[in-house]
């Protein structure tokens, strides 16, 4: 079982990462999927996405859950039937979940140069401290994206825009944490975001305190 990493950011939360090395058939075989989940997998055109979806179910299984324990609300936010909070992410050969007593968000992204092309679509305030010529530019951009995606998953409110409603305070990669804000509908919400890098990927997560 390619469980890549497991750790507890606090006493009430657990994060698990999976490295996908199995075939689609190997991932599918031991799982008991709901009809909706089976239909969703079969409708996916990309095998990478299919394997990501199924590997998340293996992560759930490693924590004693089944596909039947997971459901989604009208905004597409996942929930667990026992009342625990969950967030899910997958990117290429990695997938991850965070399960907590508190509201959470997690995101994994592969570090790629192409993120610089779309930077102005999701950063605004952050342009004040980013240096496009710095060696860590792509890594920092990827972390910012992961943090904003994590906030979006935690807040799960239609109409929120990464560039307009989320901001990430300046940070150093070695800090592995920073402060971030949601500024939406005249309400301001402050969060601490944590992040780390592995195998050419970035991961960030936010836990509501």
Q: CA of 145: how far to CAs of 3, 7, 90, 108, 111, in Å?
A: 25, 22, 14, 9, 11
Q: At what angle do helices 35-43 and 47-62 cross, to 10 degrees?
A: 150
Check whether domain 3-101 has CATH 1.10.3720.10, yes or no: no
The pLDDT tens digits along the chain (209 residues) read 589 999 999 999 999 999 999 999 999 999 999 999 999 999 999 999 999 999 999 999 999 999 999 999 999 999 999 999 999 999 999 999 999 999 999 999 999 999 999 999 999 999 999 999 999 999 999 999 999 999 999 998 888 999 999 999 999 999 999 999 999 988 889 999 999 999 999 999 999 98
Q: Do residues 125 and 39 lie in contact, with contact meaning Cβ atoms separated by under 8 Å? A: no
Buried b (16+ CB within 10 A) or exposed e, 59-76: bbbeeebebebbeeeeee
Give me the pLDDT at residue 3, please: 93
33-83 per-position pLDDT tens digit: 999 999 999 999 999 999 999 999 999 999 999 999 999 999 999 999 999
Q: Where are the domains of the chain?
A: 3-101, 107-207
Q: Provide CATH code, domain 107-207.
A: 3.90.470.20
Give me the pLDDT at residue 186, please: 83
- Gap between the Cα atoms of 118 and 120, Å rounded: 6
pTM of the model: 0.95
Domain 3-101 and domain 107-207, same fold? Reply is yes
Q: What is the chain's length? A: 209
């Amino acid at each position: 079982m390619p469980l890549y990493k497991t750790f507890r950011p606090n006493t009430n939360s657990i994060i698990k990462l999976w490295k996908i090395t199995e075939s689609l058939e190997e991932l599918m075989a031991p799982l008991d999927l709901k009809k909706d989940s089976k239909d969703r997998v079969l409708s996916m055109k990309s095998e990478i996405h299919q394997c990501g979806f199924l590997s998340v179910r293996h992560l759930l299984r490693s924590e004693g859950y089944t596909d039947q324990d997971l459901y989604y609300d009208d905004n597409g936010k996942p929930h667990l039937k026992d009342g625990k909070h969950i967030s899910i992410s997958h990117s290429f050969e990695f997938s991850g979940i965070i399960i907590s007593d508190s509201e959470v968000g997690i995101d994994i992204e592969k570090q790629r140069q192409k993120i610089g092309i779309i930077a102005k679509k999701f950063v605004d305030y952050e342009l004040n401290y980013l240096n496009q010529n710095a060696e860590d530019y792509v890594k920092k951009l990827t972390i910012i994206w992961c943090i904003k995606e994590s906030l979006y998953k935690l807040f799960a409110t239609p109409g929120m825009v990464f560039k307009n409603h989320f901001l990430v305070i300046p940070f150093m990669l070695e800090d592995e944490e920073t402060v971030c804000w949601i500024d939406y509908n005249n309400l301001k919400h402050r969060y601490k975001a944590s992040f780390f890098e592995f195998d050419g990927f970035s991961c960030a997560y936010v836990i509501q305190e």
